[in-house]
Structure 1
């Protein structure tokens, strides 16, 4: 047998046996410490109940201000947090553009190859296992560093990429964006035995069916949805390129946009970027296809602005994915969707009032500005001539993050202001989907004669057991109503 054929065969056999996406790699020991110290990777302990049995590591640049973004970066199989910190290039842009990075770490007790459990519904869904542990890390980091909770992002390689997609589906209220690097669609597999089929085969699902997997991960949630970058090598025989197409179908459907690219662009490293814009013309999904690249994270060693990382097991020298991902998320501070103006960021942005459906803002006028663009949670909410704006059509009892940028006479948008958070008044229903037994145990229902009844409304839920499942909406303290047709929140 020719050596090249033998190498290819051995690689496929080894990778398939792992089922966690990668089979070999350099494992090093991450540094430890009682809390995250600026300028070095440090372990953070006591970040929550940690149901997923993960370790938390964090990197914070020296002098990180409050209100900075937060990135979560998930390693691949046989790797650890220090590997990803060392090779991925995220440290460079954290220093350059000012944001914190959390590096969750799994272990061989969770998976024999130290893979994140993207294929296990008991670990990768909302409120469970590793997914819940990662969100506890986000909450801890946001509190410790004063992070902007409207600018939290997650990225991951391979099994970490699969978990990234699961996290975006389960917690779209936590993550403003994500990047799935050589990974898989959200909830592609729900058992270990189904994992290899997802890795290597077309699942033959429609975009709507893929989108339904995301919508089912957090029933009742209606947006805003995370902006998703997808990275894939065309010569990847571990996570086959069809996964990138399925990810594109999944997230464009969630966004309610088509699967035809709004634009394409050639990038370094034989990379083709396909952009899928939302209805406002802003990129919602981006697909980066790296010609000839195998399984791994694209990096590009060097000192240039768009160069980063270092080579290692599954860190492949092609293009700096961290640079392009960070720019897609707006971490470089450049205005998105609005030109390259030089006007300064407006000062004094503040909330002047709110109702259950509106938020009113004002700021100090910028000399030379002919108008202003107001951004809600990173997306353009509207424009105005005066230095004030009222945003409408909002959801009651909901927090929104706002920034504003000045626009000059040529239509160029300047730098964005510091963010402020506004919360609408009123209240909104909170929904819970569970078995009748669980509803009774949680105090949302009661049982009589073997029948469960919703507390407050006293609606008949059927048999009091673990097999009958309903969604209940809490419309006021102690008052629950059936909401199987959809949460009214």
Structure 2
């Protein structure tokens, strides 16, 4: 356990950062989603639906980091710009200060990080509402997040593995690593934590699901002093244990300071990957310039010449690999049974976000059938 003074200093730094977020601007593309269920975690929800959304399109759930908002994260990472281009829907859960002053998702709180509880249940409810409202493909639902959002992505993959085909944890932590604020700070610094076997067991006990399990892509900077890179290794080990994969990777690639290790099953499917970006600090790796890049550099959005958003989307089969640069191609990871987007169809009228008065009953019925609402 680190000294109390260390924890207090870190809390103060986060509080100061949180107080400054009102000075930043974000994406103007997102629309608020309401009426998505009981919302036990008291979160807000925002969504982006392209005008030309194909039938049975994929859904990506995107979780921001501490001190960020949904629109800020979208602007920085470039998810909605890519969704418009490729034709998939986006859901952005958003934390509120009433839950966490620094706008961190409470990934370490048992009441918010368990199946059917708090914030995890709210994210599940809003995910179901999006699927029902827009006729999205349940086989192609994915989740990603940065830092506390990355840790919350770990929570969603562990507690609702039947919902997500794959996930991408960026500068995050493994599920079940902490159960209090002091433990959370220790784990972020790389101190203590459950064993690899205990971490894998935590996922198996987090839901009644027995497999198949989601594919997982882990991203971390080697110079991350906010969330130690050892946490990326812990996420890797946790899912390696769940998938029953060997400690040694099936393949390793190194180029331009980016090391990618991949673990494949007996059928050659990439189930797990670990991306370590040499010299990068805490944040999302970006390549803002050029047609094969995207996003806007800034706080926690780091221009390192690596378009991770596109690489993650390509790994899930959401965009063609030819659309990403060579360095980012090293980060591709096909999810088990990943399917490309369906052929383009004649565009219909612009889709809108759920009108509660019109389709609320449909959504509520679906939530009840899924056991997400009484």
Q: TM-score range by the shorter chain?
A: 0.7 to 0.9
* Residue pair 1:142, 1:149 contacting (<8 A) in 2 also: yes
Count of aligned pairs between the two proteins = 324
Per the alignment, residue 248 of structure 2 pairs with: 260
Higher helix share: 2
Higher strand share: 1
Per the alignment, residue 122 of structure 1 pairs with: 111
Between the aligned partners of 1:47 and 1:225, the Cα distance in structure 2 is: 26
Between the aligned partners of 1:171 and 1:293, the Cα distance in structure 2 is: 31
Per the alignment, residue 243 of structure 1 pairs with: 231
1:60 aligns with 2:42: no
* Residue pair 1:189, 1:198 contacting (<8 A) in 2 also: yes
Between the aligned partners of 2:91 and 2:16, the Cα distance in structure 1 is: 22
Larger mean Cα displacement after TM superposition, 276-285 or 104-113: 276-285
Where in structure 2 are the equivalents of 1:133-282 lying within 5 Å? 133-203=122-192, 205-218=194-207, 220-267=208-255, 270-282=257-269
- CA shift, 1:168, in A, is 0.3
Between the aligned partners of 1:80 and 1:209, the Cα distance in structure 2 is: 33
Between the aligned partners of 1:105 and 1:272, the Cα distance in structure 2 is: 31
* Residue pair 2:215, 2:336 contacting (<8 A) in 1 also: no
Per the alignment, residue 313 of structure 2 pairs with: 326
* Residue pair 2:26, 2:75 contacting (<8 A) in 1 also: no
Structure 1: 5+ residue stretches without partners: 1-11, 33-39, 336-376, 381-401, 404-414, 419-489
Between the aligned partners of 2:209 and 2:139, the Cα distance in structure 1 is: 16
Where in structure 2 are the equivalents of 1:306-455 lying within 5 Å? 307-318=293-304, 319-332=306-319, 379=336
Per the alignment, residue 26 of structure 1 pairs with: 21
Larger mean Cα displacement after TM superposition, 23-32 or 189-198: 23-32
* Residue pair 2:146, 2:170 contacting (<8 A) in 1 also: yes
Q: What does the per-residue CA deviation read over 1:412-442, in whole Å, with 9 as the maximum and x for residues that have no partner?
A: xxx7867xxxxxxxxxxxxxxxxxxxxxxxx
- CA shift, 1:108, in A, is 1.0
Where in structure 2 are the equivalents of 1:446-465 lying within 5 Å? none
* Residue pair 2:60, 2:90 contacting (<8 A) in 1 also: yes
Q: 1:19 to 1:119 in 2, by over 3 A?
A: farther
- CA shift, 1:334, in A, is 6.4
Higher relative contact order (CA 8 A, sep 6+): 2
Structure 2: 5+ residue stretches without partners: 1-5, 323-333, 344-374
When the two chains are superposed, the root-mean-square deviation of aligned CA atoms in Å is 2.6
Between the aligned partners of 1:183 and 1:20, the Cα distance in structure 2 is: 16
